[in-house]
Structure 1
Amino acid sequence: MQNKILPPENKSSKLTRRDFIATASTAFMVPTIVPSSVFGANAPSNRINIAQIGCGNQSRADLPGMLRLEDAQVVAVCDVNKASGGYARKEHFLGRDPAQKKVNEHYAKKARSGKYQGCDAYSDFRDVLAREDIDAVMITLPDHWHALATVKACEAGKDVYCQKPMSLTVHDGQQMIKAVRKHNRILQTGSQYRSNKLVRRMCELVRNGRIGEVKRVVSIINSSGAGPGPGWKEMPVPAGFDYNMWLGPAPMAPYHSDRCFYRFRFHLDYSGGQVTNTGAHSTDIIQWALDMDGTGPVEFENQPGVVWPPKGHLYTTAMKTDFRARYANGIEFICRTQDPGFGARIEGTEGWVQFSVNNMREVEASSDAIKNSVITADEIHLPVSENHYQNFIDSVKSRKDPIEPVEAGHSTASICHLGNIAMRLKRKLKWDPEKEQFIGDDEANQMLQRPYRAPWQI
């Protein structure tokens, strides 16, 4: 049975191209094709047309990253926020209008005339998906939107670059896999450290036995705060911000500036805290090193170091994380808060290796012999990607899976979700990675899926 997504009542569930043109013809009065001189050897016929869906904090990296590619063109941006501050830093002023301006200015610098107005801006992602000239979308939305936007994009025949964590729940991830494979789409998970040469080097050291038999892995993540305290009050919704659409499938809740934009990730209704933020990166590195894509641990258990926001505070995700897991082969997995920065440490019988964002110069190791070890031609070599965005575009062209396909993104995100569930329930949980179900725990299994606010469905 085909996955069904129902939009709000004031929108049709599927826009045809004819309907879309009839209702938005003014959006196409400007040229949407960059002259071939902009792309040099990359002729327009070989160009991949991209739309950026979500113009908030992460788009500050994703949008310029895609604009720099010679064989891709950003033709549309979309966000429910017209333009405002309130993001990760006070100096950030983001939204669909600033994003549109950035794109047009970028291509104007390459145009002979010095002018370009070919990037369209939308407030509803379904209007983007209705355009037949768009080949792929970059989904840089809050986590609770990832599954809905991805499934709808696949149904519309678009390839997808979806930011990490790939999903909000295990069930959402399952639906994303079904949609990608059913519609023969490409999905790249935005876990960009798989395109980092230091991470690849560390994982190859592990894969080729330089630290001996792996015994323990540690996913090191950041801490977070508690947000506004007891007595916080609802705020008026800013002009130009469609808050109801921002909430989408999430429960209705009073607006507060610390609920949206960057700080959405500290609310369980929209994300999983640092476990699914920096933890999605460090856990993904571990999964790659252990060759565990498509599977995961069989046991999860909360640990004493977990710290939750005090009662009455706005945020609902763990301020400090501490959970333990175990793979079927006996390898112990630890996820814990250790400021500053984040990273992944892998310990074996003959030493350890570690990647840390605080040291982007080299792979740290227990000895120089491990650190300087040469991986020979006949040993295991992992796929090489020096640019996560280019890797996605290359996959769109070749129709071969990218370096972080949907199944890999799902297994990494699932570990994060399961760890959060163990911490919330405060007990040991047995997990079947094949069936993707907790063993003998109905309460835990009910937490694998979240109800969607009507009329949204997946």
Structure 2
Amino acid sequence: MSNLSRRRFIQASSAAAAFSGTLRVLAAPQNEARILGPNDQINVALIGAGIRGQSDMSTALQVPNTKLVAVADCYDGRLTHSKELWGSDVFTTRDYREVLARKDIDAVVIATPDHWHKQAAVDAMNAGKDVYLEKPMIHVYPDGPVIIDAAKKTNRILQVGSQRVSSILYAKTKELLASGAIGQLNMVSARWDRSSAQGAWNYTVPPDASTETCDWPRFLGSAPKVAWNGERFFQWRKWSDYGSGVAGDLFVHLFSGTHFITGATGPTRAMATGGLRYWKDGRNVPDVLLALFDYPQGFNLSLRVNFVSGGDDSEGFLFTGSDGSIEISSAGVTLTRSPMSKAPGYTVNTFSNAMQKEALADYHRKYPENREDATTTAGVERFVAPKGYNDTYSHFENFFHSVRTRQQPVEDATFGFRAAGAALLANQSMERGKIVEWNPDTMRLG
């Protein structure tokens, strides 16, 4: 976490009020790339100016000393809107290679469909650009080693865009878990539910969508060649040719958070089930997915995404330990302490009176400090982020810090592959109809 984010957290914590316990606020060779000083402006380009891409760039430009220079997208309307948003001097093109050829660009934000992530990222690093790559880092497993190798060979910064790892709430949870606040972790449960057409990726197709305004062949790239389809172009997450389903879109955030908080590198086994329960509109990925994962650190992870959630649009984490739990939600972090008694207790009432007396005397000799009426340190503490806090801003702040200092980012290619690789195990398990195995150290399927 950056010093600025820490300062925000500390400043906000001093101003919060108490309730229900304690409330606190919580490449080409390197010589082809420009060497940036601590106060130099970072020139950025956007590759993929869809919903997430435009949102990313709007946030990135709030970080001081950043400037948008160029935008690439396969739909002309987004190129027009980029100039409307960020100025007529912004260079726009359908071909991102024209962006990468520019010498005045230091870093790129890649927010393309998943099936373009690997190629766009590798091309950018080979061109001497640092890369902020939207999650999931990979579309298919072979993408991972290629991206990792390219980052090493080119000495470029690559940060994956799963912003939870830069969140002050997740940092607080990591601190609490490491301090032993809930004892021994045994279970992590997470959900990301939605109940709307937009939440289920039925994004609006613009009235002018056609092969004239959309570069369909370029969009398809390595995907199977099919006839023009406006829904596939603008709602690409609904098809596995271009996206990675709810596992790649949403599970990957939950894995990033779990790995960041626990320090784990990934699960060893996965079992998943689900299906198309409601949104039977031609898509070929499930709208309900549930999965269980085994972690060698001694805990299990349970994940759920439901796009037919009955009106409950929510995201949340629950870390359960032997002495309590930690919940992360949009409202903040809630620590519930419920220490397990060190004394086992007793059940003597079926014994004879004489034997009850003897058993109780023996019990109290063994556990003199833990009589049945002893009090514990149970309680609830809550931590909230400062008003208006945005973890995506913190994530870009961390990325640009790495671009300037050449220090490894908070979510590098190896971290990103382990999160995405673990998430896609759910798809593998569901497709195969069986438990699948994964080696989180070697990052290989079993």
For Structure 1 versus Structure 2, the TM-score category normalised by the shorter chain is: 0.7 to 0.9
Trace 1:46-57 onto structure 2 (pairs within 5 A).
Answer: 46-57=40-51
CA RMSD of aligned residues (A): 2.7
Aligned-residue offset at 1:170? 2.1
Does residue 335 (structure 1) correspond to residue 342 (structure 2)? The answer is: no
Per the alignment, residue 108 of structure 1 pairs with none
Aligned-residue offset at 1:385? 9.6
Flag the 1:371–1:385 CA change in 2: closer, same or farther, 3 A. farther
Per the alignment, residue 189 of structure 2 pairs with 218
Does residue 364 (structure 1) correspond to residue 325 (structure 2)? The answer is: no
Aligned-residue offset at 1:286? 0.8
> Among 399, 410, 413, which residue is 1:403 paired with?
410
Trace 1:51-450 onto structure 2 (pairs within 5 A).
Answer: 51-83=45-77, 95-104=78-87, 117-222=88-193, 237-261=210-234, 263-292=235-264, 295-303=265-273, 306-308=274-276, 313-337=281-305, 339=309, 340-357=313-330, 359=331, 362-367=332-337, 369=379, 371=381, 387-439=394-446
Aligned-residue offset at 1:60? 3.0
Flag the 1:42–1:119 CA change in 2: closer, same or farther, 3 A. farther
SS at match of 1:251: coil
Structure 2 letter corresponding to 1:266: K
Q: CA contact under 8 A between 2:240 and 2:285: conserved in structure 1?
A: yes
Q: CA contact under 8 A between 2:59 and 2:393: conserved in structure 1?
A: no
Whose strand proportion is higher, 1 or 2? 2
Higher relative contact order (CA 8 A, sep 6+): 2
Deviations 1:101-146 (A, max 9, x none): 2111xxxxxxxxxxxx431111101111111111110001111111
Flag the 1:196–1:435 CA change in 2: closer, same or farther, 3 A. closer
CA distance in 1: counterparts of 2:68 and 2:140, whole angstroms? 30
Aligned-residue offset at 1:420? 1.1
Q: CA contact under 8 A between 1:223 and 1:320: conserved in structure 2?
A: no
Aligned-residue offset at 1:238? 4.7
CA distance in 2: counterparts of 1:436 and 1:98, whole angstroms? 40
Q: CA contact under 8 A between 1:297 and 1:326: conserved in structure 2?
A: yes
Unmatched runs of 5 consecutive residues or more in structure 2: 1-27, 29-36, 203-207, 338-377, 384-390
Flag the 1:167–1:370 CA change in 2: closer, same or farther, 3 A. farther
Flag the 1:246–1:402 CA change in 2: closer, same or farther, 3 A. same
Structure 2 letter corresponding to 1:422: S
Structure 1 letter corresponding to 2:246: Q
Structure 1 letter corresponding to 2:381: K
Aligned-residue offset at 1:187? 0.9
CA distance in 1: counterparts of 2:63 and 2:382, whole angstroms? 33
Structure 1 letter corresponding to 2:74: V
Deviations 1:51-101 (A, max 9, x none): 011110002321111222221111111101011xxxxxxxxxxx1110122
SS at match of 1:170: coil
SS at match of 1:435: coil
Flag the 1:438–1:78 CA change in 2: closer, same or farther, 3 A. closer
Range moving further from structure 2, 243-252 or 306-315 = 306-315
Deviations 1:417-450 (A, max 9, x none): 11111111111122222333333xxxxxxxxxxx
Count of residues paired in the alignment: 351
